[in-house]
């Protein structure tokens, strides 16, 4: 007699080889949770660091500032966001987070979409001279 498991791993919009932690020129991120149509990350942006000006084809994002003061651009709007502040980034919106302060900024990022790989980043401007499209690992 054999026992077969009926538990099937959940399908995820995040590629199986996607990193759980990665350092970037501006700071680092940790993937906290992944599901069929979502990913939750904790993102730390070092003082004077900034993410690329970018957009995504496959996902929308919600950013919740949990530490520091973030300068966030979404399309033509630029705002300073304090801890507890929430910013919605629709799919296709041009966006960036900058840390113009002397202390780290941390956010919780909730990604929602049908594909959540790092190669869905299209960079329009980047202070660190990275490629326009993120390469898939």
Domains defined along the chain, listed by start: 21-125 (2.60.120.10)
Distance separating alpha carbons of residues 118 and 37, to the nearest angstrom: 14
How much is the average pLDDT of 99-125? 96
User: Quick one: pLDDT at residue 137?
Assistant: 43
Is the whole-model pTM more than 0.85? yes
């Amino acid at each position: 007699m054999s026992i077969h498991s009926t538990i099937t791993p959940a399908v995820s919009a995040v590629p199986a080889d996607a990193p759980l932690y990665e350092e970037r020129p501006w700071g680092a991120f940790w993937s906290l949770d992944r599901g069929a149509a979502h990913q939750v990350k904790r993102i730390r942006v070092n003082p004077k660091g900034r993410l690329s000006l970018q957009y995504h084809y496959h996902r929308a994002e919600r950013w919740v500032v949990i530490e520091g003061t973030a300068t966030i651009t979404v399309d033509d709007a630029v705002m300073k966001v304090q801890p507890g502040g929430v910013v919605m980034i629709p799919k296709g919106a041009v966006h960036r987070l900058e840390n113009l302060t002397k202390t780290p900024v941390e956010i919780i990022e909730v990604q929602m979409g049908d594909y959540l790989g790092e190669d869905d980043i299209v960079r329009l401007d980047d202070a660190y001279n990275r490629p326009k499209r993120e390469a898939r690992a």
